Amino acid sequence: MEIRRCSVCSQKFSYDKVGKTYCSPKCKKSAYRQRVYEKNQGNWEWFFKGILNSREDRKNLTPKILIKILKEQNYRCALSGVRMTCIRKKGATIFTNASIDRIKAGEEYNSENVQLVCRAVNSFRSTLPIPEYLEWCRKVVAHNKVK
């Protein structure tokens, strides 16, 4: 038996099989997931499927509907104008990633009540109505103007 370091978590482990690079099934699964993420970077349909599958309350939306909205917005955040991305990376928050935002917070997710915004903007906005959110943004900018 030889001692190796796991290619995912760097933990030492003993092995007796040729080519074994993971210390556990969990690390093997994690490495597989990361390869799938890397293979699908830039694939909007795959990205939106992942978002929609994680929430039952978004069943009225499909990747096709979201891609249509994305194209209408020219791949830019509806509130900030930032070019959005569709990057998935385990353990990382990508603030430019597209996020589904309800225009009227608290109401149903449907094609008339959603817009796509970058994740950072969606997090900052939370449940604020858009005019109130924009007012807070103006306050932040005004307070931080460099003179």
* Residues 6 or more apart whose Cβ sits within 8 Å of residue 78: 101, 115, 116, 117
Assigned domain for 122 exists: yes
Assigned domain for 38 exists: no
The values of phi and psi at residue 128, to 5°, are -65, 140
**Residue 2 DSSP code:** E
Assigned domain for 27 exists: no
Assigned domain for 78 exists: yes
Assigned domain for 1 exists: no
Entry pTM: 0.76
Structural domain count, the chain:
1
Cβ atoms of 127 and 105 within 8 Å: the answer is yes
Assigned domain for 26 exists: no
pLDDT at 56: 84
Structural domain of residue 76, as residue ranges? 43-147
- Calpha distance 129→106 (Å, rounded): 10
pLDDT at 52: 93
Assigned domain for 63 exists: yes
| Mean pLDDT, each 10-residue run in order, the chain (147 residues) | 84 78 86 82 91 86 96 97 91 93 92 96 92 94 82
pLDDT at 82: 96
Assigned domain for 37 exists: no
